[in-house]
Structure 1
Amino acid sequence: MADFPLPPGSTIGILGGGQLGRMLAMAAARLGFDVAILEPGPVSPAGRVSSLEICADYDDEDALEQLAASCDVVTFEFENVPAAALKTLAGFGTEVAPGPKALAFTQDRVEEKRFLVAHGVDTVAFEAIDSAEDIPAALERLGAPALLKTRREGYDGKGQAWVKDAGEAAAVFAAIGAKPAILEARADFVRELSVIAARGRDGQVAVYPMGENRHAGGVLRTTTAPAAVPDITRDRAIEIAGRILEGLDYVGVLGVELFELADGRLLVNEIAPRVHNTGHWTQDGCLCDQFEQHVRAVAGWPLGPTEARCAVEMENLLGADAERWAEIAAEPNAVLHLYGKGDARPGRKMGHVNRVKPLR
């Protein structure tokens, strides 16, 4: 096992080679670390900026052993990494952060909601769904319409569909793949907010200012930060993040999506045990962005400052949006971040732009 804090020159492993892994690798390099990537697909965005890329499935024991031998600590860029991979790495004596407990709860939406409720955090009402036959009774309790989501996997609007009445139960269940699911009551919220928080190995917690998010088609389009929120809302968000971090004995950066109700209450929509799209604004809005913060936490370093030094609107660049790169690059207050992906499929996240302006 490695001794913490890790000195510069150590190697950090990342499971996953997408854009989040890429930005983690770039942040790690700034702090003097090397990065090794394990990613099933060839020529990944993260692999192209890392010192070692292992192209193999996440359940490939030989590849995991190679990663373990190459690294002082391993983290992951997305929560759908098989939990068994973390256990295998631990068996090789490799430290993994965040730990298996975070994955166990966040890989299953029902278990995630139960965890939140058990730790005094409010969520939308929900019911576990094992078959289409469970939906009518659950709909009766929750009210219609309600949102049906697969318990596992699914992101950016995938693996979910609205159920308007009991007569749609079979069709909607089939539409999400007839997999174990969660049915969530409709939240009558006025806006979606998010908070990005981190916890270090010594238990230190750091929380960034809140962001206000706008979605289209189930995909995040913009985050504006710092969000205009009263102190009571900010303080409640900090409390929620702290309860989650402590409850998971967490090390690293965590994203928390929140619904703000008309009466000011906050409900947790989802948590993500990783750096998060709604935290991309921190790259140009804070001295220590979420990616550096995550590297600091898993490496056992002190956490960095989280205060906003400017206001930012982050816009996701989806598909052909990235073809506007020259136009965006000419904007005087825009900072362009492209992910090095070749195939600009519709809806695919190709990059983002942070537009900065002075704090009010």
Structure 2
Amino acid sequence: MTDSTPPPDATTADATTPEGSAASAASGSDVPVLSARDLQVAYRTGKDASVRALRGVSFDLYPESSLALVGESGCGKTTLGLALLRLLPTLGEITGGTVTFTGEDGRRRDVTTMTQGQLRRWRWSEAAMVFQGAQNAFNPVLTIGQQMADTLVDHAPGRIGRREVLERSAEALRSVRLEPRRVLGSYPHELSGGMKQRALIATSLLLRPRLLVLDEPTTALDILTQRTVIDLLAELRAEYKFAMIFISHDLALAAELADRVITMYAGKVIETGSTRDIFSAPKHPYTSKLINAVPPVSGDLPELASIPGAPPSLATLPPGCAFAPRCELATDECLQAEPELITLTERPADMTHAAACIHHDQVHHERKVIARA
């Protein structure tokens, strides 16, 4: 399945399917805002060559919940975020699977089959993304006010007047603790990194979307500004009731912002569960090693341990488990076939703890504390 333009009626599921049944009319907390099923993405690397960047990703995101995608660079986190909103670069395409979005009216739509016109109306109004690096996300030759106005005019349902544009832009900026009089007339380079990031978040929330995807929103910020942005996101989520996908390599931030965590490696989901389960009792050796490589914000100072080696090339994946070459628990059995997610603990809704490791019962997570002199 690609991003090519489908038939005009391709976004609405047939009434005989589960997606188009009467059950979809009720959009409650038990109905996911977003459902990905066997999502696959490939990047073209030559005339007849491509690399599989996502290999069968599936998950559900429920209303007002927060999901963190964690893992090292190159594991597929950003590709997944871009694919969910059909914002992949030119060389990337969705080659299989579905992404189903359920609006507040209960209507379910497959994002992978939307036309460009339908995508334009859906983005920002129902699903928005905060990109990594606000300086690159904003147009440097337009003021913040002009760019917020463009977003409203282009994506708001129906016509919107100049006065309403100004009022809604000012309201959005105040919600992220920015002074509208100063920011609306400023160019991006005239704002600090933290102000730009908050202005970008304000722009993403202009139309009160039901889903917000954030790709490393605090990477380029100092630790104090990071704290401000994280507190702000928690407050905004409580106020506006949006569901959130938080992409990060910073596990401390993920633990603080997310209800649920997905660990990705080599383009696949290798562990998923509630934040409590993942951080207190991870069942995949990769997740455990990620946690042990990050210093805690408080408490005793643990002995940090890096993960040996590097993630595999997606063009030449090793046989069996992709993490096996870096795993101390790996056996010959790990090299025979790639393990599937195994359900370990049943939880309500989407909090089930699962891991793709045949040695999950041998993963005993502990952090060694450095002895003080």
Structure with greater proportional strand content: 1
> Which structure exhibits the higher relative contact order, with contacts defined as CA atoms closer than 8 Å and separated by 6 or more residues?
2
Higher Rg of the two aligned structures: 2
Please, what TM-score do these two structures have when normalized by structure 2? 0.28
Give the TM-score normalised by structure 1. 0.29
